Amino acid sequence: MGLRRALDDYKRNRESADVFPGERRTQAGRFTSSNRRLVHVDPAGSIREYSYPLSGFHGIASSRFGVRIDGTVTWFDTLDGSSQTSREANAVVETVHELETFDVVQRDFTDDLSHATSFELVGESPAPLEIVGFVEFAPEGDSRVGQLVHDDEVVELYHDREHDYLAASTELTITPEVMEQFDEILADEPQSFPRGGESESYEGSRLTGGVSFRAELEGGRTTVVTTLSDIEDQSRSESLARITDRTQRYRAPSQFLTAARQSMQSTDGTDQLVQTDLHVLDLLSAPTGARIAGPDFDPHYQYSGGYGYTWFRDDGEISTFLLEADERLGLDAGEQHRKSARFYLQTQLADGRWPHRVWPRNGRLAPGWANGHVEGSETQYQADQTASVLVFLAEYLATHRDSLPTEMALNVESALESGVKGMDISLEADGLPTVCENAWENMNGRFTHTAAKFLHAYSSIATAPLNDAVRTHAAAQADRMYDALETMWCPDEDIYGLRLDDGELDTRVDSTTFSLIDAHLAYEAVADVDDERRRRLETHLEAAFERLWTETDDIRGLRRFEADTWRRRGQSSEKVWTVSTGWGAYAAEKATRLFPSTSRQFDPTAWADRLFAEIDLTGSLCLDSGYLPEQFFDSGTPDSATPLGWSHAIRLATYAARRSRNA
């Protein structure tokens, strides 16, 4: 099913200059989720599932909705007038479809493994109307799907273990839809669904994942519900009883909104930006607390390696940023911190390090290309990932040691001790990390960023509440890292280079080197940061901002690194990244603690303000939904994973730091 939809999108977008054809884009629209289902609602009200990494369920592959009046169907995706917003602290997505004399208000809400889509008529319809819809299911991601229609009221779609159900709170007329055949898949023109009309045979109608339906309105309302289940965990009769219960529970808008209110965490009095960022981190979280990098828009790896996995760099950085924001803003995020720590303890390898990426729902090794250390090679390994996790664990232990259960505290201490040994494996005699992959996962070398994360991790461990032997060793290693960073300095350009490549310093500017600021702030608790080092960090940061800054008619922000060629499509220059822009704002905000205010004319607070303004809710890099996509074309077209968890965590921590500065 997924490949059919990818090929359909390819046909529709293959000539576009700033869209990658065949992807499942989420830049437009909004998400509603539980920690097991992640459902996207596009601006026309169509829903699609991104749940597999969180729960193992594939669910809905595509859909569309509309109205039928006097036998004539108007699909919502053909209307010019639709608007969308989020309600109930982002738990509900509300889409208003504007027709000539009336509106249809659509509300979407996700609760555990159920998703409800309610429709309410507002105004006067010229004749009785019905809600019409088409939903394509892909249980277990397969195209060999069976369909059962129970008593003409509930549709069941299944492959093996995954069984998906659809029903409505009012009378439902169901028509199974046979999906594209080989000749249609290979044809130049895309197909539109539903086709309308019955399948030619009963057999064909029961071997398809597509279903079209008409739902009557009662009192101007109806609610369509889908639920997902594992037949080994829940019998068919139990699943049918559950979806019947849900269709009645969400029958009226008042019941619908009450259920949404009860499901969400309290956010009373929370700033909108904070609420949005916390919501996004929640969207991307599995029950384990681990987070996917972003909704997986490229599941067939055509233009990327996929995003629906937990990277230990992204997740470790998010955890640390959330920990910092919680300390400053009082977010009551203790349970999130505990879940993160437990997940890292569960997934740490025997040598003290972490794998490339794992499935968030269970911590098992996921498809990846940087597991060289698992295979027995250091080069195809991203050593900064281990350092990022260790920074969080050390800072978590330092701030929450007294409130942790004894066994968990001991386990964290053991993980940190083992992690130090893991980082030691990656060091060479000169004190720098060995040749490995970079944070952007697109080149090998000995990177300034990797060294900075090691300095940060060793320094954090050296000051954590651990035994003296571990602290003393970590402090000595931090001293080595501090001295070794001299190798990465380029005096001719007053910057820290990107990497050592076969012994030569690559003097491109890379936004990952913003990590030098936090690393040196952590090192200050171990030993002195000398004046010359502060001067170098200052000139480096200033040069990096100036060289990476990009401004067009539509967007403003920082590029990832100089000569970055990834996902340019029809664009000749590097794209702007929200991670880089947010990271720059965060580094500038923190830099005020490192640089003497009278030292030079470089003003980090001015850059902090300038960069943060672009990722703020009204900034050029923030969508109307409040989401931050990973990248932007110069035209202002957003691209890649949306929303990206790393960007939102950086924005949250930067906002918290700014609040403290301005308090």
**For residue 399, what are its two tokens?**
């701030």
Q: Which of 480, 455, 615 is nearest to 463 (CA)?
A: 455
Q: What is the pLDDT of residue 605?
A: 94
Task: Compute the distance between CA of residue 423 and CA of residue 435 in angstroms, rounded to an integer.
Answer: 13
Written as one letter, the residue type at 415 is A
Angle between helices 531-548 and 515-523 (to 10 degrees): 160
pLDDT above 70 coverage of the chain, percent: 98
Q: Which of 601, 552, 611 is nearest to 580 (CA)?
A: 611
Task: Compute the distance between CA of residue 289 and CA of residue 508 in angstroms, rounded to an integer.
Answer: 36
Res. 323: pLDDT tops 80: yes
For residues 88-96, average pLDDT? 93
Q: C-alpha distances in angstroms, 41 versus 4, 365, 598?
A: 20, 30, 51
| Chain-centre distance for alpha carbon 501 | 32
Q: What is the pLDDT of residue 265?
A: 61
Instruction: Tell the burial category of 372 from Cβ atoms under 10 Å away from its Cβ (0-12, 13-18, 19+).
Output: middle
For residue 444, give the H/E element and its range: strand 444-447
**Block residue for tokens 């889409």:** 95
Q: Which of 589, 629, 638 is nearest to 612 (CA)?
A: 589
For residues 224-252, average pLDDT? 95
**Which of the two residues, 251 and 535, has the higher pLDDT score?**
535
Using a cut of 0.85, tell me whether the model's pTM lies above it: yes
The three-state secondary structure class of 519 is: helix
Q: C-alpha distances in angstroms, 365 versus 300, 319, 425, 439, 578?
A: 18, 20, 21, 19, 28
pLDDT above 90 coverage of the chain, percent: 89
Residue-range domains of the chain with CATH? 23-263 (2.70.98.10), 272-662 (1.50.10.10)
The answer to whether the beta carbons of residues 471 and 464 sit under 8 Å apart is: yes
The answer to whether the beta carbons of residues 54 and 38 sit under 8 Å apart is: yes
Q: What is the pLDDT of residue 202?
A: 83
The confidence band for 183, taking pLDDT boundaries of 50, 70 and 90, is: very high
**Residue range 327-384, pLDDT digits in tens:** 999 999 999 999 999 999 999 999 999 999 999 999 999 999 999 999 988 889 999 9
| Chain-centre distance for alpha carbon 21 | 21
Res. 598: pLDDT tops 60: no
Task: Compute the distance between CA of residue 464 and CA of residue 475 in angstroms, rounded to an integer.
Answer: 11
Could you count the other beta carbons within 10 Å of the beta carbon of residue 563? 11
The three-state secondary structure class of 412 is: helix
**Residue range 252-310, pLDDT digits in tens:** 777 777 777 776 665 555 799 999 999 999 999 999 999 999 999 999 999 999 999 99
**For residue 201, what are its two tokens?**
């045979």
The answer to whether the beta carbons of residues 650 and 324 sit under 8 Å apart is: no
**For residue 587, what are its two tokens?**
């580094």
For residues 115-141, average pLDDT? 95
Task: Compute the distance between CA of residue 521 and CA of residue 527 in angstroms, rounded to an integer.
Answer: 10
For residues 139-157, average pLDDT? 94
For residues 314-323, average pLDDT? 98
